[in-house]
Chain A
Amino acid sequence: MSKVMSLKDAVSLVNDGDTIAIGGNVLHRAPMAAVREIIRQEKKLLKLVKTAGAHDIDLLCAMDCVETVDAGFVSYESKYGLATHYRKAVEQGNVRANEHACYTVICSLRAATMNVPFMPVHGLNAGDLLLENDYFVVVEDPFSGTPVTLVKAIVPDVAFIHVQECDQQGNARIVGPKFEDVLISRAAKQVIITTEQIVPESRMKLLKDQIDIPGFLVSAVVKTPQGAAPTSCYQKYEVDDRSLQSFMAQKNKDELISYLQSYEKKDYSGGTKLW
C-alpha cells in the first residue's frame, strides 16, 4: 500500500503540543517544506528536538509554533549570524530553550529507541546545565558507586526527515551525511519522509543494503522536490544564499508571511504523484 500523500495531509498528522524531531543539521538537509507547512497549518506549542538547528527552528519560533527547543546549538553559521527569532522568543519568555550538549540529544533519542526512561551520559559532569535543567540528573552508579549523569529519554511524536530518494512504501535512502536522521527514525512514534524523488520499489530492492530508513517505520511519504531549500541537499543543491539573505532582511511576521508564500507553489509541486 502506498504511503504517498500530499504535504498538507502528512503535516496534518501533527497535533498541537507534539514533540517534533527535525532531520538534517544546521544548514543542511533540513525538511524545510514540512517546516513551512507546519507554519501554514498554524501548529502550536511544539516541542522541537534536534542536535543543531538553524533556519528550521528560527522560522518555527518566528511564527509562534514553538513551546520548547531541545538542542545543543541553534544558530546559522558564521556568515549568517545568530538565529534572531529563536533568540528573541527565548529572551521574551515565549519559548523555553532546553540546552543540551548535542550528544545528550543523541543519548536521549538512543534511550527512546530502546524504550528506557533515561540514558547514562559520560562526560557531562561539570557546569550549570546540570543545575538548571530537570532533564539531567546526577545519580550514583549502582555498580561502582561513582557519580553518573543521566539524560531523560525524548520520544518524538513525529520525526520529519528529508531524503534524496525513497519508494512509495517509505524505504528511504540518504545520500551523503546522515546526521542524526537514522537515529530519530528509530526513536519517533511516527516518521514522515519528504523526498526529492519517489523511485520504483524494484529499484530500491536492488539497493536494499543502502536503505537507511526501512519503509515499515514510515507513516507518510511526500514528494517535495527542493524540499530542503534554502538549506542544502547533498548532490542535489547547495545552500540557497539569496533566499537566506532575503529571509534575514525580513524583520516582522507580515514580511515573513510573504517569504513563506514565495515557497508555497514549490512546496506543493510534488502533489501526490509518484514519479
Chain B
Amino acid sequence: MVNQQYRASDMMTCAIANLLNDGETVFHGVSSHLPMIAMMLAKRLHAPNLVHLNIPGGVNPSSVTQASYSSAGADLFSGAESYFPLEEVFDLSMRGRLDVAFLSGIQFDLHGNINASVVGSYQKPKVRLPGGAGSAVLIPTAKKAIIWRTKHDKRTFVENVDFITTRGNLWKIVTPLCIFQYKAGKLHLDRIQPTSSLEEVKANTGFELSYDEIKYTNAPTEKELSLLKKIDPFDYRSIEF
C-alpha cells in the first residue's frame, strides 16, 4: 500500500535504499546523514548482509539513533562489530573491493563532471567549497558511485561545471526530482520521483535531458516509512532539507 504522507527526505532515503543490494560493501563519509539512514533501511529491508563502512571505522554499527549524532561520530563505532579505519576503506576501494561509495558535490554537468571544490577559479575562488573529500579517488575506483543532492536546480545541474573535482565512473545521482544514470559518458534521466514530473525536471536542469522512456521511482511504502521512524527517530535524514 502506498502512503501519501511522505516528504522529499523520506522519498530520497527510500529510493537510495532500493539502489543497494544484499552483501555489498558500502561507504559513506561526513555530512552524509541521508545515505547513512538509507543504508540502515536497506539492511532492515532487503540487504541484511550489506557491509556498512564509515569514517570512524565501525563496521556495521547496530544503531544510529543517538541525539548528538554526527555521521562521523561515536555511535558508528560503539555498536559496531569490528574496526576498519578510513585509510583501509580507501585501500579497499583501490583494489576494487568497495561496491558502493556515497559522495556529493555542488555542480554537475551532462558529461558527469562533478564540482565540489570552487565556484569561480581554483586559485582565486569566488566561493571556496568544502572540497571533494574522497571523491576524486573513490569515484574512479568504487564499483558504483552514488551521488545524492538535496537541491535540484539550474545552479546545480549546469551546462559546464566551474571546476572538475572528478569525473567518470559515476553510477547514479539521486535528487528530490529524479534519478540520473551515467551511461556512455552522459547523464541520462533514469527515473522521475513520484512527486515530480518530466516538465519539472526539465525546468530545473541546466542541460538538455536525455532519456529513453519515462519511468518513476516507487513512492515509499507504509513498511518503509514505519521502519524509517524506528531507525531514525530524530529525523537526521532531513538535516540537509
Contact = CB atoms under 8 A, between A and B. Distances in A.
Interface of A: 25-28, 51-52, 71-75, 77-79, 82-83, 86-87, 90-91, 93, 97, 99-104, 106, 121-129, 132, 176-180, 183, 232, 234-235, 238-239, 241
A103 B126 CA distance: 26
A173 B181 CA distance: 46
A177 B82 CA distance: 11
Nearest to B166: A127
Contacts of A25: 30, 55-56, 72, 86
Given A73-B30, A126-B166, A179-B86, A28 B73 contact: yes
Contact-residue size bin, chain B (C-beta under 8 Å from the other chain): 35 or more
Nearest to B150: A78
B94 A77 contact: no
B133 interface: yes
Given A122-B141, A177-B57, A129 B130 contact: no
Contact of A176 (B56, B70, B122): B56
A15 B8 CA distance: 51
Contacts of A71: 131
Contacts of A123: 93-94, 136-138, 140-141
B86 A180 contact: yes
Of listed B72, B73, B130, B240, residue having the most chain A CB within 10 A = B130
B69 to A, nearest CB: 10
Interface in B103-148: 113, 117, 122-138, 140-141
A114 to B, nearest CB: 15
B102 to A, nearest CB: 14
Interface string B20-64: 000000000111010000000000000000000001111000000
Contacts of A75: 30-31, 130-131
Contacts of A104: 136-137
A78 B33 contact: yes
B134 A77 contact: no
A28 B56 contact: yes
A101 B133 contact: yes
Nearest to A176: B77
B165 interface: yes
Contacts of B207: none
Shortest Cβ-Cβ A-B pairs, 4 listed: A75-B130, A177-B56, A123-B137, A101-B136
A17 to B, nearest CB: 21
Contacts of A121: 137
Given A127-B164, A127-B167, A87 B30 contact: no
A122 B165 contact: no
Contacts of A87: 127-128
A102 B123 contact: no
A77 B130 contact: no
Nearest to A95: B128
A99 B131 contact: yes
B194 interface: no
A183 B128 contact: no
B71 interface: yes
Contacts of A27: 70, 72-73
B68 A122 contact: no
Given A127-B164, A128-B164, A77 B86 contact: no
